[in-house]
Structure 1
Amino acid sequence: MRPGRPLTGRGVAALLTGVGCAIAANVLAAPILLYVAVLLFALVIVAVVAVRAPRRGGAVTRRISTDLLTVGEESQVAVRFDLRALRIPLGTWRDALPSAVTGDAEGDFPTDNGTSIRYRITGARRGVWPIGPLSLHTIDPFGLAQRVQEFGDTRTVTVVPEVVPLAPMSRAAGAAGGTAHTATSRLGQGSDNLSPRRYVSGDSMRRIHWRATAHRGDLMVRQEEEEASPDAVVILDRAARRWSPHTGAVDPAFETAVAACASIALHLVQEGYNVDVRDSAGTVLGVLRGQEDDRDSLLVVLAMVQPQGEGRDVVTLLDGTPPGPLVMITGRIDEPDAAGLRHGGAAAPILLTTGPGAGALAAAGALGWSTAELDDVSSAWDDALAGHVAPGGGHVPR
């Protein structure tokens, strides 16, 4: 049955049979066939009127048990449908689902009004997707006529990247474990960071801290205290040339890269790091300081991120301050690109690439990067921490 038609297959067959009987009645001079044709026509007309004539309205509300649905995660949708009609029709309901969400969102319409309809959905692809509208498909008791009505608005569901458990960063030689051990420093500019120190030859007289001088009896000057910079930086390379041309189809390599970005950033937070997540153009995708809202904000941004534009040099993205762990996640990269990939003095630079060209991993390793080919997130992370042999036989250091 095609919902766009007023008649079902049985109804079309009854109508055609009536036409055939009417023609045969004239050709064969058999009045009984004309009576049959009139009866079939009448049944079809009554069926259409019975299904189409009643006025119906309804209010639809949906509640999804999970605010953010992870790829591969299952959630429950509760739909309350309050139908306003003379009687509860017999038929089936169906909630429209996008291709990025799977689920069995259809069934027989309940015989009592105002009840909740429940079904389960599973996230299949990250993004923000609409669920709905709800459609009610009714058929007359003879199965001749049908009616499809849509009720209510849509409700969006946000499918965020899958977060994969990863091995501890402390497994890597030389990697410190947490905020207190890996923070680098720079001179602060705020007044809250000022502290006095003894005057030394060459200090400007304008920096003399008169209150501290009077208190201590020695000439004191203002000295900015050192501020801790972000302990870890995760960079997702979104440069369009690193990924497959945008054709509307899903790029599995980019999806893996986004999942790796989410997994690594949240993993580093769990290990005690403050984490900045940026793209290759310098746009801040997320700032993680251990708060649940920070986590959700990053996942929502990563749910919608796509390849675009061109990237910048990694060192310029660090604002001149080398972090502790620095994780760069990129796509296709050749040997010349890798040979110019500076990490700016990061304590633990890690490069994960979904499409390393010949000699690319070895070239990056020679600059001090720990490298791995990114296919499976967990395995690539283990390879980067442990060090491995790059294609061509060159050993990639940690």
Structure 2
Amino acid sequence: MREALGGLTVRGRAFIAAGITAIACAMLLGQPALSRVGVLILVLPLVTALLLGRARYRLALVRTTSPQLVAAGQPARVTLSLTNEGRTPSGVLLLEDHVPYVLGTRPRFVVDGVRQGWQRRVTYQVRSDVRGRFEIGPMTVRVSDAFGLVELGRAFRTTVPLIVTPRISPLPPVPLGGGWTGSGDNRPRAFAFGSAEDVTVREYRRGDDLRRVHWRSSARTGELMVRREEQPWQSRATLLIDNRLLSHRGQGIASSLEAAVTVTASIAVHLSQRGFSVRLVTASGEDGAHAWHVRDSEHNSGPLLEALAVLQTDNRSHLDSSWMGEQGQGGLTIGVFGALGQSDVPLLRRFAHHTTSALAVALDVEAWAARSSRPGRHGAVPQKGSAPVLSSAGWRAVSMGPQDRVDTVWEELGRMGASRTGTSTPQGHSFARAAGSSPS
């Protein structure tokens, strides 16, 4: 009852005040008829509050978003399915879904005629220009009577996530040249001697096909062993994004970090669509949950885009190098860098020696600093980004400014790769073939 009285609206409180005033005036003036009117006005909101407070509503809500993974600037549709599973009818339902402000204004709906077995479906759209992971919900339901005297609030605790990925720019197929080959276990092997039983094996890993288990070796070692030579040759690419705070300038979606994320996401989708196994490496190293994304997966770039959607700046001063494996067997590495100093050169050389082909997009972060009127930081390279530093460390690098298009920079990187390696691949050649993929 206390909750119901707390739900009195301004109109309901005005009715109570008017009823008390009418009863007082009737007693002072000796007007019994006025007292009856005052009692009626006073009792009406109290009875309404009592009935709404004792009512037990059983409203069920199912909220869905389509799609759950959407690019920045693209709309997503949220569907609310409401069902009254109780027997108590209600007058008017005021629905308000809690939505983060970057997704738009909070949607509000008014529905009436709620009876037993009542069902209603409402939809609305959300849109964000900012990447990230957002929670939609919970929903607040306010039950009101027909006279608008009492409103009682109910809330659903459930929420659904919406992941807004970076903007993706379609990239043209370009010949980059270099050592675009498989690596590690995916490298093809030739056996000059022995039969099919004389195979190279390795320890079983989670996700391996059980049909590849080599039982004779497993019995000898006591652990499951699988054949190596049955794996297809798979081209691999490592995407390295420098997300250190000291390497970037600008604020919000106009910062150089957002440009770096957009470039990385566009390259990741481009390579995945052309059959590459891609992994993401940040300034803090490789995240095991977002390691190699194999090419035979239907949505192989989804987890990588989710990682980029929530990527933030890192306060460390040096790039992590724990992700590097055996020297010269890193496959292709494409880096997206901000401001670099001379202290980064030794580690950049190690990265270049680790990979068979080191390509880079160097952001001219001082141009972003000029746009945001922020002075440059100590140790930053002031002219034309960090391309000269990368070139001195053995990378093939192109510079990118705030006004440059991602596809144009990608084509320039392709021309640089072709000129360095003497590749004669025509401009319209397939990127996967230019990368050196081998037929299975």
TM-score (norm 1): 0.70
Q: Secondary structure at the match of 2:167?
A: coil
The answer on whether the counterparts of 1:339 and 1:363 sit within 8 Å (CA) in structure 2 is: no
The answer on whether the counterparts of 1:61 and 1:80 sit within 8 Å (CA) in structure 2 is: yes
Q: Which residue of 2 aligns with 1:195?
A: 191
**Cα deviation, residue 232, structure 1:** 2.7
Asked if 1:183 is matched to 2:155, the reply is no
Query: Identity percentage over the alignment?
Result: 21
Q: Which residue of 2 aligns with 1:142?
A: 147
Q: Which residue of 1 aligns with 2:324?
A: 317
Distance 1:349 1:147, change over 3 A: same
Q: How many residues align?
A: 350
Q: Superposition pairs for residues 288-307 of structure 1, below 5 Å? A: 288-290=293-295, 291-307=297-313
Q: Secondary structure at the match of 1:294?
A: coil
Q: Which residue of 2 aligns with 1:107?
A: 109
Asked if 1:61 is matched to 2:81, the reply is no
Q: Which residue of 2 aligns with 1:39?
A: 40
The answer on whether the counterparts of 2:285 and 2:322 sit within 8 Å (CA) in structure 1 is: no
Q: Secondary structure at the match of 1:142?
A: coil
Give the counterpart of 2:361 among 336, 351, 371: 351
Name the Cα RMSD after superposition: 4.3
1:173-194 Cα distance to aligned partner (Å, 9 max, x none): xx23xxxx742577x6899946
1:68-91 Cα distance to aligned partner (Å, 9 max, x none): 233222232332222124214322
Give the counterpart of 1:128 among 104, 111, 133: 133
Distance 1:53 1:190, change over 3 A: closer
Q: Secondary structure at the match of 1:386?
A: helix
The answer on whether the counterparts of 1:161 and 1:259 sit within 8 Å (CA) in structure 2 is: yes
Q: Secondary structure at the match of 2:89?
A: coil
Q: Superposition pairs for residues 12-23 of structure 1, below 5 Å? A: 12-21=13-22
Q: Secondary structure at the match of 1:292?
A: coil
1:154-213 Cα distance to aligned partner (Å, 9 max, x none): 23333333322224333xxxx23xxxx742577x689994633xxxxxxxxxxxx6889x
The answer on whether the counterparts of 1:352 and 1:371 sit within 8 Å (CA) in structure 2 is: yes
**Cα deviation, residue 45, structure 1:** 0.9
5+ residue gaps in structure 1?
A: 197-208, 213-223, 388-396
The answer on whether the counterparts of 1:136 and 1:148 sit within 8 Å (CA) in structure 2 is: yes
Give the counterpart of 2:95 among 93, 96, 110: 93
1:36-82 Cα distance to aligned partner (Å, 9 max, x none): 54333222212322432311112222333324233222232332222
The answer on whether the counterparts of 1:374 and 1:380 sit within 8 Å (CA) in structure 2 is: no
Give the counterpart of 2:333 among 323, 326, 329: 326
- One-letter code of the match for 1:265? A
Give the counterpart of 2:405 among 376, 379, 393: 379
5+ residue gaps in structure 2?
A: 197-227, 367-379, 414-419, 422-440
Q: Partners in 1 of 2:150 and 2:132 — Cα distance?
A: 39
Distance 1:260 1:26, change over 3 A: farther
- One-letter code of the match for 2:398? T
TM-score (norm 2): 0.64
Q: Which residue of 2 aligns with 1:8?
A: 9
Asked if 1:163 is matched to 2:168, the reply is yes
Q: Which residue of 2 aligns with 1:199?
A: none
Give the counterpart of 1:265 among 268, 282, 286: 268
Structure number with the bigger relative contact order (C-alpha 8 A, sep ≥ 6) is 2
Q: Secondary structure at the match of 1:90?
A: strand
**Cα deviation, residue 27, structure 1:** 7.2
Distance 1:315 1:152, change over 3 A: closer
